[in-house]
Chains A and B, each alone.
Chain A
Amino acid sequence: MKAASLRIYIGTWVALMVLFALTLASSFVPLHGFNTAVNVAIAVAKAALVALIFMRLRTSTALVRLAAVAGLAWLLILIGLSLTDFLSRY
């Protein structure tokens, strides 16, 4: 196990707070229907920071990364395939 430096952890937290402020502020600006897209994109970026740095996927073994990616892949299959059905109905 390799511990990342203190600076990396603090920097990640600062980045998370900046993204948090950005998502909150952007919700008050009319973006012509793109508000939700911006919010979700920011949430994905925040989740990636937590997963890669705090959960240390950046330096994990291939096996651990595979387990993490498997969860995400099945989720995308679940949502993606279900949406193809749903979106074609309405």
Chain B
Amino acid sequence: MSTHATAEATELDEGETATFGMWVFLATEVLFFGVLFFAYVMTRLRYPEEFASAGRHTDLTLGSINTGVLLTSSLAIALAVRSVSLGAARAGAWLLVATLALGAVFLGLKSLEYWHDYTEHLVPWLDFAFAPPERNGAKLFFYLYFVMTGAHAVHLIIGLSLVGFMLVRLWRGRIDAASVAPLEVTALYWHLVDIIWIFLYPLLYLVSRT
């Protein structure tokens, strides 16, 4: 009786092991982006006025729409996991399609935004718009802007590939209520990418808009 209880207390099922593994990986991702966030904090404390004037030049409209898009995509994939684990594979597949579509919209708008940044001379290494004395601080702001949103976009592209792969597996009946773990950990990754954006949005788009 006691051995049985011990075995029960220490054994994790496959899904729990996968979830745990993904969270360990996500912790390393938090630290990866954490370094960039710390670089931002340090630089902003050093150049507060420059960050204020540079921050007013990011595209607030596109950045805000993308925030709404990504938050909604998180709902879509959370509902997809829920549907599949309740046995509604078809609804789950459509929700994954919605997730993919919202992710694609985000990337499309982000590309458009990069194009605007380029035409407005906000790329620090290409005929940069800001003159001294603001130049150095503004340059650092836009370096951080491109590195942080760029790293985020790369993660989103990886997320899109994973969700696409899950959709194919779901289609072929490889994922169902009994084996939802791969889809679940993909959703965890997607949500983390959303959380990163939740912090990028105020730091890059809402600086000194008053």
**A residues within 8 Å of B by Cβ?**
1, 3-4, 6, 9-10, 12-13, 16-17, 20, 23-24, 27-31, 35-36, 39-40, 42-43, 46-47, 50-51, 53-55, 60-61, 63-64, 67-68, 70-72, 74-75, 78-79, 82-83, 86-87, 90
A interface footprint on B1-45 (CB within 8 Å = 1, 0 otherwise): 000000000001001100110011011111100110110011001
Contact: B198 with A9, CB < 8 Å?
A: no
- Whole-angstrom distance from the CB of A41 to the nearest CB of chain B? 10
Contact: A13 with B71, CB < 8 Å?
A: yes
Contact: B23 with A64, CB < 8 Å?
A: yes
Is B163 part of the contact surface with A, judged by Cβ < 8 Å? no
Contact: A29 with B210, CB < 8 Å?
A: yes
Contact: B45 with A90, CB < 8 Å?
A: yes
Interface segment, one of B72-80, B109-117, B124-132? B72-80
Contact: A86 with B42, CB < 8 Å?
A: yes
Contact: A17 with B28, CB < 8 Å?
A: no
Contact: A75 with B31, CB < 8 Å?
A: yes
Counted as pairs of residues, one from A and one from B, with CB atoms less than 8 Å apart, the total is 132
Interface segment, one of B134-142, B144-152, B188-196? B188-196
Contact: B82 with A6, CB < 8 Å?
A: yes
- State whether A78 and B82 are in contact (beta carbons under 8 Å apart), knowing that A43-B201, A72-B30 are contacts in the complex: no
Pick the contact of A64: B16, B75, B194 (CB < 8 A). B16
- Whole-angstrom distance from the CB of A4 to the nearest CB of chain B? 7
Is B180 part of the contact surface with A, judged by Cβ < 8 Å? yes
- Chain B residues with CB below 8 A from A90, complex form: 45-46
Q: Which chain B residues numbered 83 to 111 have a C-beta less than 8 Å away from chain A?
A: 85-86
- State whether A4 and B209 are in contact (beta carbons under 8 Å apart), knowing that A42-B202, A50-B195, A75-B34 are contacts in the complex: no
- Chain B residues with CB below 8 A from A83, complex form: 41
- Chain B residues with CB below 8 A from A78, complex form: 31, 34-35, 38
- Chain B residues with CB below 8 A from A12, complex form: 75
- State whether A50 and B31 are in contact (beta carbons under 8 Å apart), knowing that A13-B72, A60-B19, A78-B38 are contacts in the complex: no
Contact: A3 with B85, CB < 8 Å?
A: yes
Contact: A39 with B38, CB < 8 Å?
A: no
Further 17 A-B residue pairs, CB within 8 A, beyond A10-B75, A55-B191, A64-B20:
A27-B206, A30-B210, A36-B207, A43-B199, A50-B74, A54-B74, A55-B187, A55-B188, A55-B192, A60-B19, A61-B16, A72-B30, A74-B31, A75-B31, A75-B34, A78-B38, A83-B41
